[in-house]
Amino acid sequence: MPKALVASGASLQQFPSSQDIDAYIALQQKTVAAWPDRSADSATAEAFSKFGDVLQSIDANRISSRDLDKAETIFREGIVIFRKLVQADPQNTPPRLSLWTAYDQMGRMQRNRKDTDGALKSYQDALAVAKKLSDETPSSAQWMLNSVVSQIRVGDVLREKGNNDEATKAYRDALAMIKAPANLSSLNEDSMSDVYYRIGDMFEEAEQYQLGAEAFDAVTRIQPANAKAWNGRCWNRAILGQLQDALADCNTSLQLEPNDYNALDSRGFTYLKLGELDRSIADYDAALTISPRLPYSLYGRGMAKLRRGDTEGGNADISMAKKIQPDIADIFVRLGVR
């Protein structure tokens, strides 16, 4: 099961309304007017940090073109101010985090508008900020992760531009960052799981399943008792068609955490691709007993039932899965299940 859908403890911020964005712009204009030379000022820095924090919740795919213009205005102005704050106090971390956020969000908005050249430049600027902080604080998991996120997004834009060789190199560079022993050893198990959920999901979104498998492989070597890492590698390997290896990984994950519905879902998917329908249904049943509204498990179980001849039961599961996630059929086609 895709890792971004199952990370525990995660919650989404409320999506800002058009009125919220208008209020941010008004506050921004007032603050800038009172700060004409844009010199370092802690109150102003705090005000603009809040813009970065709140607007992280903007989903560029859900915001109107009118509000997208406004949000982009905020980040363009924010970039100018955060850069000034960084220049005034290069050792002050919060403005650099805000600068990274502003570049990252700018890139996301430009990418949504199909401005790939602009997005590439923004993501490269974000990467430069993150790598500098990561080099200065090699024990910081946060800056290592930010560097990896920016590197993957550079790869995504290069792939969209048709520069496949450069994109592959960018993805490989991202993987090299997270495989570095110094970076991995600085993380405790919870942080490690969170990092790899995010990175594994980004590789999956980029359809770089081999890299996803290698990312989780790095964790299994350092933390062989990390059940989530074994499940992550199982999922990516199953998508790649490395089914026996995937099955072994899922079994290991479930030996470590027998009631993990994510691993049960992954193994059910693996059995589905292997054609072992009774075992697939049994694992999906177990996953859905724990969490009844899993669209991947419902759809996978529905496909297994159809293949076993249970048309009514299969169609019922598939219908429920589509109600929860309308594009689930298209997703399964991309994952190799028709």
User: Can you state the angle between helices 209-222 and 189-205, rounded to 10 degrees?
Assistant: 170
User: Who has greater pLDDT, 75 or 165?
Assistant: 165
For the chain, what are the domain ranges? 16-259
Burial group, residue 182, by CB count within 10 angstroms (0-12, 13-18, 19+):
exposed
Residue pair 321/298 in contact by the 8 Å Cβ criterion: yes
What's the pTM value of the predicted model, to 2 decimals?
0.67
16-259 — its CATH code? 1.25.40.10
Tell me the per-residue pLDDT of 102-136, one tens digit each, with 9 for 90 and over: 898 889 888 888 899 999 999 999 999 998 888 88
Tell me the per-residue pLDDT of 52-93, one tens digit each, with 9 for 90 and over: 555 555 555 555 666 667 667 777 777 877 787 788 777 777
Greatest mean pLDDT range, 36-40, 148-152, 201-205: 148-152
CA–CA distance, 153 with 146 (Å, rounded to integer): 11
Tell me the per-residue pLDDT of 217-271, one tens digit each, with 9 for 90 and over: 877 887 899 898 899 999 999 999 999 999 999 999 999 999 999 999 999 999 9
